[in-house]
């Protein structure tokens, strides 16, 4: 099985029919993220139950990578605590920067591992990390 094509499919799927792309009624927090180098523009909306992210969704427009990365991230962080989500953000950014030497560490990123090869495409790195930085900003506001 060719893992790369599986990953590409996953990105295309999240880009085309993202169940996470809608506005979130009664959101507790909304954070806007913009990547001028590509034109990606997202608004991330979050709901909290104490310190747990109980629901999340996004709206916006941009390239397939930015949209898929946002959708995959939302799948990953729903139901996680703020602390756990921040740790996942750090792991994802470290993966894209190629700062992670132990591949076992990447396993907690689940589907987001599909974006690992973006680290070899410098022009697309900002597209992939946009939503993660946006989430980090939102969570730091909450803390």
29 near Zn ion, rule: CB under 5 A: no
Smallest distance from Zn ion to CB 31, Å: 18
**Which among 62, 56, 60, 67 is positioned nearest to 17, based on CA atoms?**
67
Q: CA of 107: how far to CAs of 27, 51, 79, 130, 142, in Å?
A: 30, 24, 18, 21, 27
When the beta carbons of 33 and 109 are compared against Zn ion, the nearer one is: 33
**Which among 25, 92, 32 is positioned nearest to 62, based on CA atoms?**
32
127 near Zn ion, rule: CB under 5 A: yes
64 near Zn ion, rule: CB under 5 A: no
Is the separation of the CB atoms in 114 and 72 below 8 Å? yes
Backbone angles phi, psi at 52, to 5 degrees: -100, 135
Q: Which stretch in 11-19, 24-32, 72-80, 119-127 sits in contact with Zn ion by CB under 5 A?
A: 119-127
63 near Zn ion, rule: CB under 5 A: yes
38 near Zn ion, rule: CB under 5 A: yes
When the beta carbons of 1 and 123 are compared against Zn ion, the nearer one is: 123
Q: Which stretch in 17-25, 46-54, 66-74, 93-101 sits in contact with Zn ion by CB under 5 A?
A: 66-74
> Going by DSSP bridges, is the β-strand pair 29-35/52-61 parallel, antiparallel, or unpaired?
unpaired
When the beta carbons of 18 and 66 are compared against Zn ion, the nearer one is: 66
40 near Zn ion, rule: CB under 5 A: yes
Measured in whole angstroms, the distance separating CA 7 from the mean position of its chain's CA atoms is 15
Question: What are the residues binding Zn ion (CB under 5 A)?
Answer: 38, 40, 63, 66, 127
């Amino acid at each position: 099985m060719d893992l790369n094509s599986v990953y590409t499919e996953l990105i295309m799927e999240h880009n085309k029919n993202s169940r996470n792309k809608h506005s979130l009624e009664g959101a507790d927090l909304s954070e806007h993220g913009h990547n001028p180098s590509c034109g990606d523009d997202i608004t991330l909306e979050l709901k909290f139950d104490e310190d747990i992210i109980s629901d999340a969704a996004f709206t916006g427009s941009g390239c397939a990578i930015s949209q898929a990365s946002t959708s995959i991230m939302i799948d990953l962080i729903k139901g996680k605590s703020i602390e756990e989500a921040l740790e996942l953000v750090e792991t994802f950014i470290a993966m894209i920067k190629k700062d992670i030497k132990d591949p076992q560490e990447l396993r907690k990123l689940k589907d987001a591992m599909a974006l690992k090869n973006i680290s070899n495409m410098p022009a697309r790195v900002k597209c992939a990390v946009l939503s993660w930085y946006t989430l980090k900003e939102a969570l730091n506001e909450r803390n």
